[in-house]
């Protein structure tokens, strides 16, 4: 390429031959952009029409765009175990529960003065609980509304018809073939019992007992609740209750048991005598006078102890119709720990539990979910039930929903909770609450651009161009979403961040192109001539286009390559970002430049900005007259303060003393950043997405401080021969009871242990002739004959004794699965086929699930141990889907940063064809990211999927701030110091405006209550300040030292002194 250099010009006064060779790519591109500029400058209207038509065509893809809102489809790494386990659990146990947790404290006094064990609070909660049980949801109306929404009718595919009828928590009992079934029952069941828990369980939810509570009866019941070894259905709130008799609390002989029954008979005869009658072929037990029944536990005893018509209550084997043969296990009872129901407990000299601050519990519903492409996974009946329950608690979960609810806070109890719908509600509320902040951010950008893209003048203002710059962002979004719809790439929640990414990059590009246009306009005037608008646009495209290309190509390629990540949400975001950046760059050439050409025609005709029908007196670009009614001094309108300030600052930092100070300061900043980078850790909690003021966050705080409730899990045993794996089942149970990973305050629920305890009792007639190894009385006894094992198991399973474990056992022969107590083996059932699946229930300890890394380690270590003890078995919780991310997010961040680094290296060296310049650009970008990561640690930002997205966005911004300076340095002439000063003088204002505009926008969203936007603010604030400083401060200082000198062809031809001599003169002048 020697023809590009005038003869006689020494190589050391020009770019090196290798750089010239690499520069062929750049020069080719510059010529290409110049041609594009010529075309769009000559035909701006046609170009704009073409761009709009392209956007409309792309927008047609909206019809095919699918939105993925399910967290497990966004944040679970592709191919992770949690996905496979979740699919198995969903297919095997389709009736999984949706737990709705709550807590309550005193509303009439502060927490410090609260005693939640005061009878008035328990009585008020009982009133609210009764209202909860009375809630009825009209499923028929819901089905009709869904038919209308989806335009379906009878005969069409209507999967939502499962919601027909009226639904309530307990449902309506119906007699079906001699068994009781519940119609319209919402609750999840443990056998025949609805899954729920609260302090009311201590009082058996007995209306008479609760209505007549006093302080001493509350303490009596609560303090004796955990002492029960045998289930006593009678009240614990009365000192004369048989439940306090030693024979009733625990018995080991038939005589002790009979003594308990006799005592209960006498007690109930005086407190609540009952009668049992045959009505409709069924036994019905009722009190002789409900109004005078002082203990409704007597009704239960009467129902269990009588056959035929009777008027005396004879308590019998509660879970066995034969009182004489009732095994000990029929009476076994594991009371819920008081400290899981009452928090902030305190004792006194008399009582272990004398007072408390909070009560807690849950209602569990059975899942009946459907998946809709637009709405995601839905269960409209359960959602509406939960909305109405939350309303009773004084919480309006969705103010937009119909019908409107009057959700007044209770005057005695203040509730918080975590319902199944809570996270979705609060995410939506957080986003809707931030819409105003997002709008304000865009407003700030428009106002700032209006001032900085033009002058304070009615003709030369930049208001219209500011709106164009923002409109391009909108066109990019529409086109990107449409194209992704055509190509069936799902739209995830994280794609909302594209608005800020494109806003930052698009506005930066607009500043660069506008600055280049004004520069070429001034240069033409300084040379005594003028250029036509097409010529100006062509020159703008030639110099500005390549500068914008450096950043756009780097960012787009980095994101597109990063889309190979295994995290679906991150992959989709990178795909959308890469495509949108390409479109943004294209629209800068085909929308912004044509509008810039039209704007130039307008200003040449002295027409008013945004009101081009009006003309004013001709004025120069450098002689602004102010806008509208502004009456500030004229010197204020001229501007140039930022440009002058940056030039003076650069002149100081490129002096030797300035360079030393700069390098020392940035060395300290980098040292601290590297230290922070070594300390930053990965962590992610779904609750972080909840606004600080949310009732859900209040619940999390109360739970961690007072209840320490951990994550419920199931240990699943897929299809295998349970008979041959009996010892393994016992080993898993022992592990769950001994490991520190499991909450010791919540009993491990093992169907196998309960079954074996029942089967090996000496008085158990059903297994009296069965064979056990090594013996019936051994602690490690197992069945010795497979047929006997499955026959006994099904007998235990289908009767009341094992009824609560029916949701934990699934038989291979579908005829063997029962939902109600039956005496005989179901017709067609072959029990010897064995079990298809079974599961245990447990709860993880809160302390091992506190941080994201703790959760991941707990999950993986438990998986490993359980699988070791029982091949193929695995622990599972729906929360595991979110925990999987923590295990790989750091690897994904490093991988994506490495990809970005490689792309940056290639593109920068290709488009800034001078290694001695390009290498320092790459260094500044790397230092910017390292320091951003380091200072994230000091600002309490962890590595998560959310922060990873923002760090990748920051790579693009960091490249912007450094690459523009480097490109203009390459184009500048003179000594290294002159070139650095000239580069900042020419492009520094644009870079500074990009930094400041982004900073102003993110400051607005920094006020958000949403975790996503707060992290967004923190990370972007850091990168804007750090990368901006590296680009505008450190890079010019480095280049002024090692960037080398360069003379222009004109100055050399004129015989001007070499750059080295000029450098000596400048140094002398500075001195």
User: Do 391 and 415 contact (CB within 8 A), yes or no?
Assistant: no
Rounded average pLDDT over 304-311? 44
pLDDT digit string, tens, across residues 17-34 = 444 444 576 678 888 989
Contact call for residues 875 and 863 (beta carbons, < 8 A): yes
pLDDT computed for residue 638 by the predictor: 53
| Max CA distance (Å), the chain | 126
| DSSP H stretches of helix in 371-411 | 380-392
The reported pLDDT for the residue numbered 1033 is 94
CB 394 within 8 A of CB 407: yes
* pLDDT surpasses 50 at 319: no
pLDDT at 311: 41
d(CA 315, CA 230): 14
187 SS3 class: strand
pLDDT at 131 over 80: yes
In terms of pLDDT, which residue wins out, 695 or 256?
Answer: 695
How many Å separate Cα 182 from the centre of its chain? 37
Q: Is the pLDDT of residue 877 over 50?
A: yes
Task: List, in order, residues 6 or more apart from 1068 with CB less than 8 Å away.
Answer: none
Q: Which of 407-416, 577-586, 715-724, 962-971 has the lowest mean pLDDT?
A: 962-971
Contacts of 149 (CB under 8 A, 6+ apart): none
Q: Mean of the pLDDT values across residues 397-401?
A: 87
Could you give the 3-state DSSP secondary structure of residue 283? Answer: strand
Mean pLDDT of 114-133: 96
What does the alpha-carbon distance between residue 973 and residue 341 come to, in Å, rounded to a whole number? 77
720 φψ region: left (φ > 0), alpha (ψ -120 to 50), beta (else): beta
Residue 983 pLDDT greater than 80, yes or no: yes
Give the tokens for residue 532. 């036509």
CA neighbours within 13 Å on the CB side: how many for 182?
Answer: 18
Confidence of residue 281 (pLDDT cuts 50, 70, 90): low
Which range in 65-74, 95-104, 341-350 is most confidently predicted, on average pLDDT? 341-350
What whole-number distance in Å separates Cα of residue 767 and Cα of residue 792?
Answer: 7
What one-character DSSP code corresponds to residue 168?
B
What average pLDDT does this structure show over 333-362?
91
Burial class (CB in 10 A: 0-12, 13-18, 19+), 280: exposed
Q: How confident is the model at residue 1000 (pLDDT cuts 50, 70, 90)?
A: confident
Integer angstrom CA distances of residue 600 from 448, 459, 526, 612: 20, 10, 18, 12
CA atoms within 13 A on the CB side of 1067: 13
**What pLDDT shows up at residue 335?**
81
Instruction: State the Cα–Cα distance between residues 613 and 607, nearest whole angstrom.
Output: 7
Q: What is the pLDDT of residue 178?
A: 58
Kind and range of the H or E element at 977? helix 976-983
Unique residue bearing structure tokens 């519940």:
182
Rounded Cα distance between 675 and 1006, Å, is 26
Q: What is the CA radius of gyration of the chain?
A: 38
How much is the average pLDDT of 967-994? 87
Strand partners, 502: none
| Structure-token pair, residue 910 | 């290709």
* pLDDT, position 381: 93
- Is 691 within 8 Å of 425 (Cβ atoms)? no
What pLDDT, in 10s, does the model give residues 745-780?
888 999 999 999 999 988 888 899 999 999 998 988
End-to-end CA distance of the chain: 40
- In this structure, of 471-485, 576-590, 900-914, the range with the lowest mean pLDDT score is 900-914
Query: What gap in Å lies between CA 620 and CA 629, rounded to an integer?
Result: 19
Provide the pLDDT for residue 111.
92
Which of 262, 234, 233, 237 has the alpha carbon at shortest distance from 247? 262
Check residues 577 and 903 and name the one with the higher pLDDT.
Answer: 577
Q: Could you give the CA distance from residue 431 to residue 428 in angstroms, rounded to a whole number?
A: 5
Which residue's structure tokens are 């419920």?
Answer: 712
Are 160 and 370 a contacting pair, CB within 8 Å?
yes
Nearest to 417 by CA among 700, 126, 96, 134: 700
Could you tell me what percent of the chain has a pLDDT over 90?
38
The Cα–Cα gap between 421 and 376 comes to 13
**Taking Cα atoms as reference points, which of 861, 844, 958 lies closest to residue 900?**
958
When mean pLDDT is compared across 334-338, 629-633, 909-913, 937-941, the lowest value belongs to: 629-633
Closest listed residue to residue 776, CA positions, set 801, 758, 798, 750:
758
**Are 501 and 648 spatial neighbours (Cβ–Cβ below 8 Å)?**
no
Residues of the chain with pLDDT > 70, as a percent, come to 85
Task: Read off the pLDDT of residues 651-694 as tens digits, 9 standing for 90 and up.
Answer: 999 999 999 999 999 999 999 999 999 999 888 777 777 777 88
- Beta partners for 376? 372
Task: Determine contact, residues 999/1024, Cβ cutoff 8 Å.
Answer: yes
Q: Residue 208's pLDDT is what?
A: 92
The pLDDT of residue 624 is 63
Residues 383, 386, 391, 395: what is their CA dihedral angle, to the nearest 10 degrees?
-90
For the stretch 184-210, pLDDT in tens is 999 988 767 788 999 999 998 999 999
Residue 386 banded pLDDT, cuts 50, 70, 90: very high
317 — pLDDT class (breaks 50, 70, 90): very low
pLDDT of residue 462 exceeding 50: yes
- Check: CB of residue 749 under 8 Å from CB of residue 313: no
Can you tell me the distance from the alpha carbon of 227 to that of 223, in angstroms, rounded to the nearest whole number? 8
Q: What is the pLDDT of residue 211?
A: 92
pLDDT digit string, tens, across residues 407-460 = 999 999 999 999 988 887 887 777 666 667 767 777 777 777 767 766 666 666
The SS3 call for residue 189 is strand
274-286 mean pLDDT: 74
How far, in Å, CA of 774 to CA of 764, rounded? 18
Mean pLDDT score across all residues of the chain: 82
Query: Nearest CA to 963 among 635, 575, 508?
Result: 508
Q: How many CA atoms lie within 13 A of 133 on its CB side?
A: 11
Q: What is the pLDDT of residue 282?
A: 64
pLDDT recorded at residue 68: 77
Residue 621 confidence (pLDDT) = 61
| Cα–Cα distance measured from residue 478 to residue 57, given in angstroms and rounded to the nearest whole number | 10
Single out the residue of 751, 748, 783 nearest to residue 767, CA to CA. Answer: 783
Q: Where are the alpha helices (DSSP H) in 414-567?
A: 422-433, 435-452, 463-486, 498-526, 533-562
Mean pLDDT of 1038-1046: 89
pLDDT band at 246 (very low <50, low <70, confident <90, very high): confident
Q: Which two tokens stand for residue 1045?
A: 């000198």
Q: Is the pLDDT of residue 260 over 70?
A: yes
Tell whether the model's pLDDT for residue 292 goes beyond 80: yes
Given this model, what pLDDT does residue 626 score? 60
Q: Are 1037 and 1031 in contact (CB under 8 A)?
A: no
- Exposure of 254 by Cβ count < 10 A (0-12 exposed, 13-18 middle, 19+ buried)? exposed
**695 vs 350, 490, 647, CA distance in Å?**
35, 31, 53
């Amino acid at each position: 390429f020697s023809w590009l250099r005038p003869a006689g010009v020494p190589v050391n006064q020009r770019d090196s031959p290798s750089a010239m060779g690499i520069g062929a790519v750049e020069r080719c591109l510059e010529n290409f952009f110049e041609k594009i500029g010529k075309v769009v400058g000559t035909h701006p209207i046609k170009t704009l029409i073409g761009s709009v038509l392209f956007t409309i065509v792309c927008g047609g893809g909206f019809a095919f765009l699918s939105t993925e809102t399910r967290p497990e489809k966004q944040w679970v790494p592709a191919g992770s175990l949690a996905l496979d386990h979740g699919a198995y659990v969903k297919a095997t146990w389709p009736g999984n529960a949706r737990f709705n947790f709550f807590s309550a404290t005193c509303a009439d006094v502060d927490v410090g003065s609260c005693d939640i064990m005061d009878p008035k609070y328990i009585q008020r909660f009982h009133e609210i609980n009764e209202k909860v049980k009375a809630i009825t949801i009209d499923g028929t109306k819901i089905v009709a509304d869904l038919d209308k929404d989806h335009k379906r009718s009878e005969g069409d595919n209507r999967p939502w018809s499962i919601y027909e009828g009226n639904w309530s928590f307990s449902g309506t009992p119906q007699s079906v073939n001699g068994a009781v079934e519940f119609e319209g029952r919402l609750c999840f069941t443990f056998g025949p019992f609805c899954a729920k828990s609260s302090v009311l369980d201590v009082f058996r939810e007995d209306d008479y007992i609760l209505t007549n509570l006093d302080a001493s009866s509350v303490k009596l019941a609560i303090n004796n609740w955990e002492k029960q070894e045998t289930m006593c259905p009678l009240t614990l709130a009365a000192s004369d209750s048989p439940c306090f008799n030693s024979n009733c609390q625990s018995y080991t002989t038939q005589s002790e048991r009979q003594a308990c029954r006799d005592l209960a008979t006498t007690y109930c005869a005086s407190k609540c005598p009952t009668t049992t009658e045959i009505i409709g072929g069924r036994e019905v037990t009722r009190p002789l006078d409900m109004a005078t029944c002082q203990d409704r536990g007597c009704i239960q005893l009467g129902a269990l102890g009588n056959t035929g018509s009777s008027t005396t209550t004879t308590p019998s084997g509660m879970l066995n119709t034969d009182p004489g043969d009732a095994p000990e296990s029929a009476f076994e009872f594991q009371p819920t720990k008081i400290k899981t129901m009452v928090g902030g407990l305190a004792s006194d000299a008399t009582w272990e539990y004398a007072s408390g601050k909070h009560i807690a519990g849950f209602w569990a519903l059975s899942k009946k979910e459907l998946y809709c492409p637009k709405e995601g996974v839905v269960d409209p009946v359960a959602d509406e039930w939960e909305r109405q329950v939350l309303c009773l608690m004084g919480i309006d979960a969705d103010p937009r929903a119909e019908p409107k609810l009057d959700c007044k806070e209770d005057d005695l109890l203040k509730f918080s909770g975590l319902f199944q719908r809570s996270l979705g509600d609060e995410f939506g509320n957080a986003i809707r609450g931030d819409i105003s902040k997002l709008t304000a951010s865009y407003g700030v950008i428009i106002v700032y651009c209006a001032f900085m893209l033009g002058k304070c003048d009615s003709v030369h203002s930049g208001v219209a161009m500011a709106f164009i710059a923002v409109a391009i962002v909108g066109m990019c979004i529409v086109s990107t979403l449409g194209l992704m719809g055509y190509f069936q790439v799902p739209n995830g929640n994280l794609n909302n961040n594209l608005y800020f990414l494109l806003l930052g990059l698009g506005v930066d590009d607009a500043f660069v192109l506008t600055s280049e246009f004004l520069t070429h306009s001034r240069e033409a005037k300084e040379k005594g001539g003028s250029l036509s608008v097409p010529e100006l646009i062509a020159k703008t495209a030639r110099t500005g286009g390549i500068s914008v290309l450096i950043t756009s190509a780097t960012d787009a390629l980095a994101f597109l390559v990063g889309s190979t990540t295994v995290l679906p949400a991150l992959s989709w975001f990178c795909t959308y970002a890469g495509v949108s950046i390409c479109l943004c760059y294209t629209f800068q050439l085909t929308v912004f430049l044509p509008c810039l050409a039209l704007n130039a025609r307008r200003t040449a005709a002295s027409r008013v900005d945004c009101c081009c029908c009006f003309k004013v007196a001709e004025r120069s670009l450098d002689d602004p007259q102010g806008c509208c009614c502004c009456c500030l001094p004229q010197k204020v309108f001229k501007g140039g303060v930022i440009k002058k300030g940056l030039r003076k600052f650069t002149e100081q930092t490129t002096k030797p003393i300035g360079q030393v100070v700069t390098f020392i300061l940035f060395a300290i900043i980098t040292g601290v950043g590297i230290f922070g980078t070594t300390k930053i850790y990965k962590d992610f909690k779904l609750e972080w997405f909840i606004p600080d003021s949310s009732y859900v966050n209040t619940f999390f705080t109360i739970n961690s401080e007072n209840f320490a409730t951990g994550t419920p899990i199931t240990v699943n045993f897929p299809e295998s021969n349970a008979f041959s794996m009996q010892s393994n089942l016992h080993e898993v149970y022992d592990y769950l009871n001994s490991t520190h990973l499991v909450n010791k305050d919540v009993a491990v629920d093992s169907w196998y242990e309960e079954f074996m305890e029942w089967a090996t009792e000496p008085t158990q007639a059903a297994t009296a002739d069965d064979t056990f190894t090594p013996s019936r009385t051994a602690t490690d006894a197992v069945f010795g004959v497979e047929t006997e094992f499955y026959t006994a198991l099904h007998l235990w399973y289908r009767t009341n004794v094992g009824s609560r474990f029916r949701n934990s056992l699934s038989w291979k022969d579908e005829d063997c699965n029962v939902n109600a107590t039956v005496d005989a083996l179901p017709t067609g059932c072959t029990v010897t086929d064995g079990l298809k699946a079974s599961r245990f229930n447990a709860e993880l300890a809160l302390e091992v699930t506190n941080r994201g890394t703790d959760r991941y380690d707990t999950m993986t270590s438990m998986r490993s141990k359980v699988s070791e003890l029982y091949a193929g078995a695995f622990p599972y919780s729906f929360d595991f889907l979110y925990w999987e991310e923590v295990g790989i997010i750091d690897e994904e961040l490093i991988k994506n940063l490495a990809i970005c680094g490689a792309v940056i290296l290639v593109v920068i060296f290709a488009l800034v064809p001078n290694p001695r310049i390009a290498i320092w650009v790459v260094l500044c970008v790397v230092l910017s990211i390292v320091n951003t990561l380091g200072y994230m640690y000091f600002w309490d930002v962890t590595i998560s999927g959310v922060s990873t997205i923002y760090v990748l966005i920051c790579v693009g911004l960091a490249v912007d701030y450094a690459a523009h300076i480097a490109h203009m340095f390459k184009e500048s002439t003179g000594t290294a110091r002159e070139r650095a000063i000239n580069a900042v003088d020419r492009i520094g204002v644009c870079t500074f405006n990009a930094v400041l505009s982004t900073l102003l926008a993110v400051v607005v969203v920094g006020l958000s209550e949403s975790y996503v936007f707060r992290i967004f603010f923190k990370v972007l604030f850091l990168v804007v300040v750090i990368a901006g400083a590296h680009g505008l401060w450190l890079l010019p200082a480095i280049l002024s030292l090692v960037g080398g000198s360069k003379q222009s062809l004109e100055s050399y031809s004129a015989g001007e002194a070499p750059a080295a001599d000029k450098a000596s003169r400048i140094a002398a002048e500075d001195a």
